[in-house]
Amino acid sequence: MTLDDARSLDRDDPFAEAARLFDLPDGMIYLDGNSLGPPPKPARQALDHAISEEWGQDLIASWNSADWMGLPLRTGARIARLIGAPENSVIACDSVSVNLFKLAAGLVMQGRKGVAVERGDFPTDGYIMEGLSALSGTPFTYIEPGAGVAGLPDGVEVLVRSAVHYKTAAIVDIAAEERQADRLGKAIIWDLSHAAGVIDLKLERDGAKYAAGCGYKYLNGGPGAPAFIYCRPDMAEGFSQPLSGWMGHVTPFAFQDGYKPAGGVSRFAAGTPSVLAMTALYGALSVFDGVDMGVAEAKARALGDTFLEAVSPLGLATISAPSAQRGGHVSLVHEDGYAIVQALIAEGVIGDFRAPDIMRFGFAPLYLTHEQVFRAGQRLLEIVRSGLYRDPRFAERRAVT
C-alpha cells in the first residue's frame, strides 16, 4: 500500500462534512477517540449557550425555559438512534460504573442470583459487581474471557459484558448471546463503552434488554461526559433500581416522602445531572446527524485495515480480533510499547498504551482519513525500525497513558 492508495480511499469519504465539525490541533493525528473523543464544534457552541444564556440569563428558570428537565431524555434519544434502540429507551445519566450498578442491582432486586464479569474485561465492570456483591450478598465471580453467557456457572444469572472489548476490540454477537441467555434463563447487561458511536449496534433487533455506555469516547461528549442507560421498554416498566434519587421520581418537584418511579427509562435518573456536561454531550451528538452507522462501522474497519497494512512490514504481534469481528481500534503488542507510544505522541500521533505491552490505536470514522492513518502507520514503522523509542525521554511513566 502506498500513500496514493490511502488517498484514493479518501476520495469518496462519506464523512468529509462531519470531519469539519471537529476541532483538532493542526498536524495532530488523533488515534485515541476510543478513549477520549476530540471536541466537536457543536459541543462548544451548545455549552457556550448554556452558560451565557441559560445559566447566565434565565438561571433557575432554565429548568423550564431551556427544558433542562428534558435534557437527559433528549440526549438519550440521540444515542438511541446510534445503537439501534427504540424511542424512549435510553437516558443519559451518571457514569458507566454507576449505571452498571443500577442495572445489575435492579436485577438482583428482582430475585436474580449471582453476577459475573469476564476476566480481563474492562476493570470497572468487575469492581462494581464486587461492590454490589458485598452490599447485597449476591455472589460475584469472574468467568473466563470470551466464555459469554454459556460460561456462567450454576447459580449465577447475570453477566456484565463488553460488546466490544477494550483491548482486543472483539465484537460480541449480541443476538446470539441474547438467544443463549433466553434459553438458559440468564440476563446480560451490555457495556457499550467501546462500541457506541463506532459499531452499527442494533440493540432492539438483537434482543438486548439492558445496556450502559460511555459518552466521552466515540460519542465525543467531553472528558468524563455523562454516560447512558438503555433498558428495553417492556423491561423498564416495573424495573426498580436502588439509586432511586429524586430526578427519577414521577413528580420530583412535588417534594413528597416516598419514592414513586417515573415511567420507563426515566426511572434510571438518580440525582441532579450536570446540565453543563450533558449539554456538551447533547451538542456533540449532533455531529452524528445523518450518519449511517453501518457506513461508519465500515469506514472504521477500513481505517484499521489501512493502519495494519502500513505497519505490516514490522510483523508485530496483535491481540486484535480479525478485521470482520473487530471494533474501532486495533491493539499491537511490543515489549517496549510504552516508549513507542510516547515517541509517537512526540511526533503528533496520539495512541495509548495499556499494560503490560499493548499499543492501542483507535479509528473514529467521523474525523480521520486513510491518509492520516497511513502516515501514522509509517511513523510507527520508522520509530520502531530506527530504535528512536529507546531515547530515555520516552521511558518515564506517567500516571495515565
- CB of 324 or CB of 355, closer to a copy of itself: 355
273 in contact with a copy of itself (CB under 8 A): yes
Pick the binder of a copy of itself from 345, 347, 348, 375 (CB under 8 A): 345
Name the minimum Å distance from CB 268 to a copy of itself: 12
**Which residue is catalytic, options 102, 161, 232, 360?**
360
Please list every residue from 18 through 57 that binds a copy of itself, using CB under 8 A. Answer: 23, 25, 28, 30, 32, 35-36, 38-39, 44, 47, 51, 54-57
Catalytic (active site) residue 260: no
CA distance 397 to 382: 22
Catalytic (active site) residue 375: no
Name the minimum Å distance from CB 136 to a copy of itself: 6
Name the minimum Å distance from CB 101 to a copy of itself: 6
Name the minimum Å distance from CB 319 to a copy of itself: 13
242 in contact with a copy of itself (CB under 8 A): yes
- CB of 53 or CB of 292, closer to a copy of itself: 53
Name the minimum Å distance from CB 93 to a copy of itself: 9
- CB of 98 or CB of 310, closer to a copy of itself: 98
Pick the binder of a copy of itself from 1, 19, 69, 302 (CB under 8 A): 69
144 in contact with a copy of itself (CB under 8 A): no
CA distance 287 to 196: 14
Name the minimum Å distance from CB 186 to a copy of itself: 20
Q: Which of 368, 376, 325, 334 is nearest to 354 (CA)?
A: 334
Catalytic (active site) residue 191: yes
- CB of 267 or CB of 299, closer to a copy of itself: 267
Beta bridge partners of 361: 330
330 in contact with a copy of itself (CB under 8 A): no
Catalytic (active site) residue 58: no
**Which residue is catalytic, options 32, 191, 305, 352?**
191
Please list every residue from 175 through 234 that binds a copy of itself, using CB under 8 A. Answer: 216, 222-227
Pick the binder of a copy of itself from 3, 16, 134, 250 (CB under 8 A): 134
Catalytic (active site) residue 210: no
User: Considering only 76-84, 147-155, 176-184, 345-353, which stretch makes contact with a copy of itself by CB under 8 A?
Assistant: 345-353
271 in contact with a copy of itself (CB under 8 A): yes
**Which residue is catalytic, options 78, 161, 217, 267?**
217
CA distance 190 to 93: 16
b/e for 130-159, b at 16 or more Cβ within 10 A? eebbeeeebebbebeeebbbeebeeebbbb
User: Considering only 157-165, 175-183, 203-211, 256-264, which stretch makes contact with a copy of itself by CB under 8 A?
Assistant: 256-264
CA distance 170 to 172: 6
Sheet-wide strand order for 329-333: 317-318, 329-333, 358-362, 352-354
- CB of 121 or CB of 305, closer to a copy of itself: 121
Residues in contact with a copy of itself, total (CB under 8 A)? 92
Contact (CB, 8 A) for 162 and 122: yes
Handedness of CA 119, 359, 211, 271 (dihedral sign): positive
Name the minimum Å distance from CB 362 to a copy of itself: 10
Would you please indicate which residues are annotated as catalytic (active-site) residues?
Answer: 122, 191, 216-217, 360
